[in-house]
Structure 1
Amino acid sequence: MKIDHDAIDQLIDYLLDCALRSPVTPAVFKEACLRLQKAGLSLLRVNMSWTTLHPTIEALSMIWWKDRAFDDITPFLHTEEDSQEWLNSPGYHVVSNEIERLDVRLDQDKLPYPFPMLRDLKNAGGTHYIIRLFEFSDPGEHTHENDGMILSFLSDRQGGFTDEEAQTLKRVERYFAIALKVALRERIALNTLTAYLGQNAAARVLTGSIRLGDGEHIPAAIWYSDLRNSTVLGDTLPGPELLQSLNDYFSATAGSVIEHGGEVLRFVGDAVLAIFPSEDQSLKSACDKATQAARDAIKRLRDINDLRRHQDKAPLAFGLGLHTGELMFGNIGIPERMDFSVTGPEANETARIESMTKELSCPILASRDFAQHSPESWTSLGEYPLRGVKRSIELFALK
């Protein structure tokens, strides 16, 4: 089948327009593959894979197959299984050996490379496999490892890609890479900001809330939890074990916050400051979510401590204060170093409520303002003065 070069020109314009408009979505990749196919190329499969900056995801991939449903983006985790699959792939071969292009004919009895993936592609009907390595930048201080992507094309035509098809692929592959590079940079920025700032704050920063003082008032349930006996742990545990203990505690507390729709704003040493923003002024839904997160944190820590006991490690404990208020959510700091967080007297009061968990020997305490939204879950302990707070506050224990 002869290549429709006018359609190829239109595909290139389409990819450039998408890259300029931003954001580039997986739908762009799917549409580009379909356009290549309609232009006359014998495509069975197209794959794009790239590394990413993410605490749990090592790489992302988009795979298009002819006459199959498109599965969007596939993550590859930092796991032994995924890593082994990568080490035995043609992608790893071209990256580790810095091979710009690898051209493999699959329509022969003996394959030239021992990669299991090539056998799978041949069994799926593939006859000719071309993989292209794009390096976005040289390794350096401000680039992450393997900053780039791989792009592969698989033909199902008897005899493989024609010379005209191969030349067409060489022509369009850079435009695929340009469009993905834009999407990749945006995704890395979002992933990194979300990991360090939280989803809400990351979105606000990316949409332009970057000036000192930018912010808004939001009603929210406020969470402040603190690890018990952290000084003793710090004095008695070696560095790696202390770090693991902190992460165990954070997985119980901060993990529960995120699981139930809250947003972790800051880790203050071994304390967690988080909010559950309210969608209306009633605050009931936000307080319900925070209460569920508190119960979940107790369960998570119980499971963690069961495991720690089997490992002859001391159990962990935390105190948690819950409160409500209308907070100023925005940028604080100095122009050279800003933080996106909350300010207001209620945030300070929440920390003071948490400090009372030690005096009252009660791990979770809430203010009346918080407990009134789900009174069936809380028991009053009476009014108490809080350090640095002019008024006494009625405190409630979780039933």
Structure 2
Amino acid sequence: MGVTTSSTDPNTVLFAARTKEEQLFGWLIEAGMHGMRIDQLIAQFCEKLTDLGVQLTRGNIALSTIHPQVSAFMYTWRKEGGIVANTNVLHSEEPGEGWFASPFFFMLNNRVSFMQRSLENSEELDFPVLVEFRDQGMTDWFSQIFDFGWGFQDDFRDHSSGLITSWASSAPGGFSKEELNLLRRAIPLFALTVKGIASFKAAETVLETYIGKETSRKVLSGEIMRGKASSISAILIFADLRGFTRLSDVTGRSDVVATLDQYLERMVAPIEEAGGEILKFMGDGILATFALDNEDEKEVCKKALVSSLQMISGVKQLNSERLAQGRRTMELDIAVHVGEVMYGNVGSKTRLDFTVVGPAVNEVSRIETLCDQLDTDLLMSGAFVETSGHLCEHLESVGLHHLRGVQEPKELFKIRDCDVFSKKQDLY
């Protein structure tokens, strides 16, 4: 049957090709199996087509994506320059007039999956971009669209949820019949390869967006069994916004979400920039961790404390901006703790959550509730202070306090002088 065993070498084909065309098809299969980068895929695909005698001048793809910021990735290849354009289209970007006058917009809105135009025939140039291609010396152009069946729609691309491709030649008379026959066979397989790669990338992006980079890595590596957990030592940060209920009662629904996003952005950025991970968004609060395993504990403590202060500073700056606009504000309270926690899967047979559990998690949330009572926006546990080393010289005790559900009272601390502490440049 011509079937061979594939090795770990990505250049090893999955089947014995009998022709150069079959070698191209085998290479596309291998590229999809090994998750080649999309920009490398289109560049090498175009180069291999030219090696097979296809007089290809330009290749372009626009790939829909599931991403919190980017709606599509676009790549353009040219024979004389390789990949000459790599563009990310953001959700926030409004399409320009060029999009509405493009053949792609027409094809998507009219459910046309294939379109070809001879650029040597001026009467057929019904789109401005095709006139530009003709003026650049191109003679033939066609586009093919592939619906990946991902089941979502986007205002920018209207009905597209897959791959838009376009291909152009500068040869006299355009693509030959033989070239078109090869392209019409190869391009759908190319699209399938793109879908295979993009599907995994989409899953990776979605997981990172909702559960964090480190946790998503564990899930994608197969750690999805219920009850599977490991014990880790970590610094825990519990941050909660004061006044959210009151604000939401007097604010329109759409503005509540936008306002919350503004505050959470100020809270999340310092944590992630310092190497921490956001484990949970809990309405108007977050739970974050800094792992201590195989790390300099004192250095990690410094990162956690500095990022906490940056969160508070960011929220104060946002409040100043909102007050100047006559808008309502919220204050931020933060608790920092350290302890052993269980990190892994909990839940039902069909619905799991990758999270941290244990007494330390309960304690840090209880500590945060005392911020208002103790007239401070940042409290630290004695366990954190003990771990932090030289940072303790900047801290002062606020006494022993009973935490709800915790048998023994806990000594809590606050920063003695936040301004002095923040000006210590060696802490950043």
Q: After the TM superposition, which residues 210-229 of structure 1 pair with which residues of structure 2 at under 5 Å, given as runs?
A: 210-229=224-243
Q: Which residue of the partner structure matches residue 286 of structure 1?
A: 300
- Tell me the alpha carbon deviations over residues 151-173 of structure 1, each in whole angstroms, 9 at most, x when there is no partner: 11121223322222122110101
Aligned mate of 1:61, from 59, 74, 88: 74
2:211 matches 1:197:
yes
Q: CA deviation at 1:59?
A: 1.1
Aligned mate of 1:49, from 57, 62, 70: 62
Q: CA deviation at 1:53?
A: 1.7
Question: For 1:246 and 1:125, how far apart are their aligned partners in 2?
Answer: 52
Q: Which residue of the partner structure matches residue 327 of structure 2?
A: 313
| Amino acid corresponding to residue 198 of structure 1 in structure 2 | G
Q: Which residue of the partner structure matches residue 385 of structure 1?
A: 401
Q: Structure 1 residues 219 and 121 mapped into 2: Cα distance closer, same or farther (>3 Å)? A: farther
Question: For 1:121 and 1:349, how far apart are their aligned partners in 2?
Answer: 65
Question: For 2:90 and 2:96, how far apart are their aligned partners in 1?
Answer: 8
2:213 matches 1:183:
no
Contact map agreement 1:58 1:77 (CA 8 A) in 2: yes
- Tell me the alpha carbon deviations over residues 180-239 of structure 1, each in whole angstroms, 9 at most, x when there is no partner: 111121122111122111111112111111110122223322111001012212322222
Identity, % of aligned pairs?
27
Q: CA deviation at 1:37?
A: 1.5
Q: Structure 1 residues 378 and 83 mapped into 2: Cα distance closer, same or farther (>3 Å)? A: farther
Q: CA deviation at 1:35?
A: 0.9
Q: Which residue of the partner structure matches residue 87 of structure 2?
A: 74
Q: Which residue of the partner structure matches residue 136 of structure 1?
A: 148
Report the count of equivalent residues: 391
Q: Structure 1 residues 24 and 304 mapped into 2: Cα distance closer, same or farther (>3 Å)? A: same
- Tell me the alpha carbon deviations over residues 247-305 of structure 1, each in whole angstroms, 9 at most, x when there is no partner: 12211112332233221111122110111223524323432332332233233223322
Q: Which residue of the partner structure matches residue 13 of structure 2?
A: none
Question: For 1:196 and 1:71, how far apart are their aligned partners in 2?
Answer: 33
Question: For 1:365 and 1:175, how far apart are their aligned partners in 2?
Answer: 58
| Amino acid corresponding to residue 255 of structure 2 in structure 1 | E
Counterpart secondary structure, 1:70: strand
TM-score (norm 1): 0.89
Question: For 1:140 and 1:355, how far apart are their aligned partners in 2?
Answer: 41
Question: For 2:380 and 2:84, how far apart are their aligned partners in 1?
Answer: 45
Contact map agreement 2:43 2:82 (CA 8 A) in 1: no
Counterpart secondary structure, 1:356: coil
Q: Structure 1 residues 325 and 67 mapped into 2: Cα distance closer, same or farther (>3 Å)? A: farther
Question: For 2:257 and 2:64, how far apart are their aligned partners in 1?
Answer: 26
Unaligned 5+ segments in structure 1 are none
Q: CA deviation at 1:108?
A: 5.0
- Tell me the alpha carbon deviations over residues 16-55 of structure 1, each in whole angstroms, 9 at most, x when there is no partner: 2232x23242223322221112111112221222212222
Q: CA deviation at 1:377?
A: 8.2
Counterpart secondary structure, 1:357: coil
Q: Which residue of the partner structure matches residue 139 of structure 2?
A: 127
Q: Which residue of the partner structure matches residue 163 of structure 1?
A: 177
Q: Which residue of the partner structure matches residue 412 of structure 2?
A: 394
Q: CA deviation at 1:131?
A: 0.7
- Tell me the alpha carbon deviations over residues 65-106 of structure 1, each in whole angstroms, 9 at most, x when there is no partner: 223253796321013345655434322221221111111233
Q: Which residue of the partner structure matches residue 3 of structure 2?
A: none
Q: CA deviation at 1:130?
A: 1.1
Q: Structure 1 residues 353 and 374 mapped into 2: Cα distance closer, same or farther (>3 Å)? A: farther
Q: Structure 1 residues 31 and 330 mapped into 2: Cα distance closer, same or farther (>3 Å)? A: same
Q: Which residue of the partner structure matches residue 104 of structure 1?
A: 117
Once the two structures are overlaid, the 10-residue window that deviates more, 78-87 or 304-313, is 78-87
Counterpart secondary structure, 2:73: strand
Counterpart secondary structure, 1:380: strand
Question: For 2:48 and 2:22, how far apart are their aligned partners in 1?
Answer: 11
Contact map agreement 2:382 2:410 (CA 8 A) in 1: no
| Amino acid corresponding to residue 382 of structure 1 in structure 2 | V
Q: CA deviation at 1:124?
A: 4.3
Once the two structures are overlaid, the 10-residue window that deviates more, 105-114 or 24-33, is 105-114
| Amino acid corresponding to residue 241 of structure 1 in structure 2 | D
Q: Structure 1 residues 40 and 211 mapped into 2: Cα distance closer, same or farther (>3 Å)? A: same
Contact map agreement 1:24 1:179 (CA 8 A) in 2: no
Q: Which residue of the partner structure matches residue 90 of structure 1?
A: 103
Q: CA deviation at 1:145?
A: 5.8
Q: CA RMSD in A?
A: 2.7
Q: Structure 1 residues 6 and 240 mapped into 2: Cα distance closer, same or farther (>3 Å)? A: same
Q: CA deviation at 1:340?
A: 0.7
2:283 matches 1:265:
no
Counterpart secondary structure, 2:88: strand
TM-score (norm 2): 0.83
Q: Which residue of the partner structure matches residue 35 of structure 2?
A: 23
Q: Which residue of the partner structure matches residue 338 of structure 1?
A: 352
Unaligned 5+ segments in structure 2 are 1-17, 422-428
| Amino acid corresponding to residue 195 of structure 1 in structure 2 | T
Counterpart secondary structure, 2:57: strand
Question: For 2:31 and 2:46, how far apart are their aligned partners in 1?
Answer: 14
Q: Structure 1 residues 266 and 168 mapped into 2: Cα distance closer, same or farther (>3 Å)? A: same
Contact map agreement 1:131 1:150 (CA 8 A) in 2: yes
| Amino acid corresponding to residue 362 of structure 2 in structure 1 | N
| Amino acid corresponding to residue 273 of structure 1 in structure 2 | L
Question: For 1:220 and 1:41, how far apart are their aligned partners in 2?
Answer: 58
Q: Structure 1 residues 74 and 370 mapped into 2: Cα distance closer, same or farther (>3 Å)? A: farther
